[in-house]
């Protein structure tokens, strides 16, 4: 039996457009409506009437939780998600949370007060999901963090492999001759942040696999995912380790702050110290020098997340967990020694 995903593939239109045609939304072009209805007739597709009635009974918008008040990477995904939702005729409410806040507690309160038809979490703590997600009854997607270990049919996730990405970043520094490498990353105490722990583990394991000893008490400084905190952490790291030749920053925002800190400390990048970030935000293309990074595919994350959520809102089914490929971008901030 054909599914809504099959109808979208055969018609050439998005799942959101197909859903609007099935639910008789007016904001669909005549061309799109005709194409989708033709495929529905030819495939013998039968909409799930219970799911359809449920969708029509729910009037509240999708709620998007953004973990971090100034995270440019998540804001980039947010912009793309809002575009895809808007193109699918869906409204959204956005809630910004501090890195230290519990996003599941916020979602439980929102579910009670607003009865949203879906949740999208941009960033999140797996500990919070393990402890409390079972209290939710709303279809959800976790973006940028792998939730495959969470036992719930209501949850999907789309994320880059942070461990492999950081491993490749450290490998790039080592291939360019660097052995005294410092690390600036997130705070481990914020609800068991899986991004922080995965990126740190990837960096450390790569160094160890290449026979490079590292003392985390000396060569690792925690930081929020912000330029201000990256600046502070970079100064602390370099004062503690003046002989470093390279730094791995676990976000591009941290790397931008570190770049300014090194400049203020009269350390040239890459002449005196090489630098690589993580995420691939637009800003690193315009820094001087351009900062090397691990680029995540935010467009793929946004589209897959929206398509998956809209499909499961209309046609309940088990969530999926998908790893989105990353790309190593070697730019001007790394010097071979």
Question: What's the rounded mean pLDDT across residues 157-164?
Answer: 96
| pLDDT given at position 189 | 41
Sign of CA dihedral 187, 188, 190, 193: positive
Would you call the peptide bond into 289 cis, given omega within 30 degrees of 0 as the criterion?
Answer: yes
The mean per-residue pLDDT over the stretch 217-224 comes to: 94
Q: With contact defined as beta carbons under 8 Å apart, do 294 and 166 qualify? A: yes
> Which residue would you say has higher pLDDT here, 51 or 244?
244
Q: What is the pLDDT of residues 118-135, one digit of tens each?
A: 999 999 889 999 999 999
Q: Where are the alpha helices (DSSP H) in the chain?
A: 4-11, 15-22, 30-43, 49-57, 72-87, 103-114, 126-132, 162-175, 194-209, 216-219, 227-240, 252-264, 298-314
Burial environment of residue 143 by CB neighbours within 10 A (0 to 12, 13 to 18, 19 or more): buried
**If we measure between CA atoms, which residue out of 326, 333, 233 comes closest to residue 292?**
333
Whether pLDDT at 100 is above 90: no
Question: Per residue in 223-237, pLDDT tens?
Answer: 988 999 999 999 999
Which residue would you say has higher pLDDT here, 29 or 70? 29
Burial 73-83 (b: 16+ CB within 10 A, else e): bbbbbbebbbe
**150 pLDDT tier (thresholds 50, 70, 90):** very high
Pair type for strands 181-185 and 246-249: parallel
The helix (run of H) or strand (run of E) holding residue 90 is: none
Total length of the chain: 337
Q: Between vectors from CA 255 to CA 253 and to CA 258, what angle results, nearest 5°?
A: 115
Mean of pLDDT over the chain: 89
Share above pLDDT 70 across residues of the chain, in percent, rounded to a whole number: 89
Query: Given this model, what pLDDT does residue 25 score?
Result: 65
pLDDT tens across 47-79, in order? 554 444 444 444 468 999 999 877 889 999 999
* pLDDT at residue 48 in the model: 54
- Other CB atoms within a 10 A radius of the CB of residue 239 amount to 9
Residue predicted with more confidence, 219 or 14: 219
Which of the four pLDDT bands, split at 50, 70 and 90, describes residue 102? very high
| pLDDT in the model for residue 53 | 40
| 209-214 average pLDDT score | 95
Give pLDDT, residue 219: 96
Digit-coded pLDDT (tens) for 164-210: 999 999 999 999 999 999 999 976 543 344 456 889 999 999 999 99
Average pLDDT, stretch 291-320?
95
8 pLDDT band, cuts 50/70/90, is confident
3-state helix, strand, coil in the chain (%, to 5): 45, 15, 35
């Amino acid at each position: 039996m054909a599914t809504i995903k099959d109808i979208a593939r055969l018609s050439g239109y998005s799942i959101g457009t197909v859903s609007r045609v099935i639910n008789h939304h007016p904001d669909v072009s005549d061309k799109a409506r005709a194409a989708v209805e033709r495929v529905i007739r030819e495939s013998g597709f039968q909409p799930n009437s219970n799911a359809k009635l449920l969708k029509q009974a729910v009037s509240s918008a999708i709620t998007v939780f953004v973990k971090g008040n100034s995270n440019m990477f998540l804001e980039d995904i947010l912009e793309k998600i809002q575009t895809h939702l808007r193109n699918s005729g869906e409204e959204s409410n956005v809630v910004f949370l501090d890195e230290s806040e519990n996003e599941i507690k916020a979602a439980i309160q929102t579910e009670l007060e607003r009865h949203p038809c879906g949740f999208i979490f941009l960033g999140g703590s797996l500990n919070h999901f393990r402890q409390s997600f079972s209290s939710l009854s709303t279809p959800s997607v976790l973006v940028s963090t792998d939730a495959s270990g969470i036992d719930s049919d209501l949850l999907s996730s789309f994320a880059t492999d942070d461990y492999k990405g950081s491993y490749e970043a450290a490998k790039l520094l080592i291939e360019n001759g660097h052995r005294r490498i410092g690390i600036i990353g997130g705070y481990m105490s914020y609800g068991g942040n899986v991004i922080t722990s995965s990126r740190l583990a990837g960096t450390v394991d790569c160094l160890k696999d290449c026979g490079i000893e590292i003392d985390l008490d000396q060569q690792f400084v925690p930081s929020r995912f912000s330029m201000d905190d990256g600046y502070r952490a970079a100064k602390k790291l370099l004062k503690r380790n003046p002989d470093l030749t390279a730094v791995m920053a676990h976000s591009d925002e941290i790397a931008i702050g570190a770049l300014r800190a090194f400049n203020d400390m009269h350390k040239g990048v890459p002449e005196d110290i090489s630098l690589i970030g993580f995420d691939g935000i637009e800003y690193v293309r315009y820094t001087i020098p351009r900062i090397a990074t691990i680029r995540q595919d935010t467009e793929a994350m946004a589209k897959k997340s929206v398509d998956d959520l809209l499909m499961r809102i209309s046609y309940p089914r088990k969530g999926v967990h998908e790893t989105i490929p990353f790309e190593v971008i070697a730019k001007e901030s790394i010097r071979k020694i």
